[in-house]
Amino acid sequence: MVQPSVYSRLQIIEAAFKLVREQGWGAVSTRAIAKELGSSTMPIYSHVQSVEELEKELHIKARTLLKDFQRRMYTQHTLLNLAFGYVAFARDEKNLFRFLYLERPNRINMEDISAVKEWFFAEFGEQGGEAKALLELQASGQEALVGYTWIFTHGLAVLVNSGALGRCSDEDILDFLMNAGEAFYLWGNEKGGVSFGKDSEK
């Protein structure tokens, strides 16, 4: 006779998410999840069929929280808010950032990295404030601007997450982003015909 499951799939995912958020991906196991729930491991196996399935669910939850950070109104500039939210997430949710981008990252195909702009629209839609702010640029410069600023922002986020820059305040992060962002924005307008990831004319 199959033992009835006391805990729902949602409760199991929430318990696993709490573990990865507080302790990192290395702390996540069926035994640890069961301990968090105060149950045996049987309900977990009945709801989650594999580590890959659990990892996918945790990616979705972590990315949802990341997007929440990016949608907050830190400044009056929508695109700056996106970058700031990304770095603030790396600073304030260290384990989740490491899970997403260092421990269990989704593979980035370098041949397709020029499609960052399309990813941007897929993530945030074409009618939202983020997309409208991007569309104010020359069409040919949008791809390059999004691609290169994302690389800079991600690098800054990794440094902040690791503590290499100390405890960065909101003001510190904004200074980094605004200085770099202004340079990239001007470059994007002046070099609008340059495609991201391809050789450009110097």
Q: Answer for the pair 98, 161: CB distance below 8 angstroms, yes or no.
A: yes
- Output b/e per residue, 171-194; b: 16+ Cβ within 10 A: eebbebbeebbeebeebbeeebeb
CATH class of domain segment(s) 1-49: mainly alpha
Give the tens place of pLDDT for each residue, 91-102.
Answer: 999 999 999 999
What's 24-59 look like in SS3? CHHHCCHHHHHHHHCCCCHHHHHHCCCHHHHHHHHH
When pLDDT is cut at 50, 70 and 90, the band that residue 105 belongs to is confident
Closest listed residue to residue 100, CA positions, set 68, 50, 55: 55
C-alpha torsion angle, residues 2, 6, 12, 14 (rounded to 10): 170
Domain boundaries, the chain: 1-49, 64-190
* 100 vs 138: CA distance, rounded Å: 32
Give the tens place of pLDDT for each residue, 70-79.
Answer: 989 998 877 7
pLDDT value, residue 93: 98
C-alpha torsion angle, residues 152, 134, 121, 123 (rounded to 10): 50
pLDDT value, residue 188: 52
Least confident among 24-33, 92-101, 188-197: 188-197
Closest listed residue to residue 151, CA positions, set 101, 78, 94: 101
* 193 vs 176: CA distance, rounded Å: 26
